[in-house]
Amino acid sequence: MTRTPIIAGNWKMNLLRADVAAYAEAMAAAGPPDAPVDVVLFPTPVYLGLAATAMPDWTAVGAQDVHAEESGAYTGDVAAAQIVDAGASWALAGHSERRQYHGESNDDVARKARRTLGAGLIPVVCVGETLEQRKRDETETVLDAQLGAVLEVLAAADGAGAGAVVAYEPVWAIGTGLSASPEIAASVHGHLRARLNGHQAGLGDSTRILYGGSVNAENCRDLIGRADIDGFLIGGASLDPSSFLRIIRLSTGSAGGS
Ligand code: PEP
């Protein structure tokens, strides 16, 4: 089955208004890649509307987090409908920084992913083990629990629009400069895909599984060369548009976007 690759940039709590505008100009000047790829940027919520308006139409914009409830007294949080209203079409759920700093449980992540999907957004569910868990040989147990909590949502998304997306982001590789080797990443992706297929026939074959964790222009080709790696969720190397565009070009073999 052919799965369209995804190259996504998670800006986290970085960049100001002028940076977002300059980024959009750089993307527009580069032009669309001449290979099939979904390019998605995840700004902070305050700039979602700006990014959605300013970015060229061959890109999409997504939210870094969505509240699990539809609306109400949740000061500081953002509802899925507001994210859609701001012009976004994707949303992350369960990024490890949300799990770590906001105490989000597997159940919270599943509720957020369900709300995201219900609002018509494409959920990108992040899973990944810590270094301690990997050292204790608990990687598959941890991933199975994280993935198990969202299987129903992933199955519900299957066959509807772009489906849902899984991002394997080992916590020890995020922001450390220590990317997982292509072998480690491919083996985990294979495990996740098998789990998805085990839950529902074909779910693993259709669900796009991204790798995230210190992806850069040097390592992206080796990683995406593996059959089970469908693209990237990129933090640090997505903050500069020329670096992000270079990764798009190298990963897709596209001549566009320099
Ligand atoms: C991330 O936070 O999603 C991420 C992958 O960050 P980095 O690329 O900086 O490791």
The reported pLDDT for the residue numbered 162 is 75
Q: Chain-wide mean pLDDT for the chain?
A: 96
Give the residue-averaged pLDDT of 110-128. 97
Asked if residue 258 has pLDDT above 50, the reply is no
Ligand 1 nearest-atom number relative to CA 212? 5
Predicted confidence at residue 255, as pLDDT, reads 64
Mean pLDDT to the nearest integer, 155-183: 93
Cα atoms found within 13 Å of the Cα of residue 174, Cβ hemisphere only: 22
pLDDT at 250 (0 to 100): 97
Ligand 1 pocket, 236 CB below 6 A?
Answer: yes
Pocket probe for ligand 1: among 234, 244, 251, the residue whose CB has the most ligand atoms within 8 Å is: 234
Q: Is 7 in the pocket of ligand 1 (CB under 6 A)?
A: no
- Of 97, 104, 129, 169, which one is the catalytic site residue? 169
Whether 146 lines ligand 1, by a CB cut-off of 6 Å, is no
pLDDT, residue 212, reads: 98
Q: Is residue 160 pLDDT above 90, yes or no?
A: no
Counting beta carbons within 10 angstroms of the beta carbon of residue 5, is it exposed (0 to 12), middle (13 to 18) or buried (19 or more)? buried
Give 32's pLDDT tier (boundaries 50, 70, 90): very high
Q: Give percent of the chain above pLDDT 90.
A: 95
The pLDDT confidence band at residue 158, using thresholds 50, 70 and 90, is confident
Can you tell me which atom of ligand 1 is nearest the CA of 232? Answer: 5
Instruction: Please give the distance, rounded to the nearest whole angstrom, from the Cα atom of residue 190 to the centre of ligand 1.
Output: 21
pLDDT score recorded for residue 256? 53
Overall average pLDDT of the 171-175 stretch: 97
138 catalytically annotated: no
pTM for this model (two decimals): 0.97
Q: What is the pLDDT of residues 129-149, one digit of tens each?
A: 999 999 999 999 999 999 999
Q: Rounded to an integer, what distance in angstroms lies between the CA atom of residue 107 and that of residue 45? A: 23
Q: Is the CB of 212 under 6 A from ligand 1?
A: yes
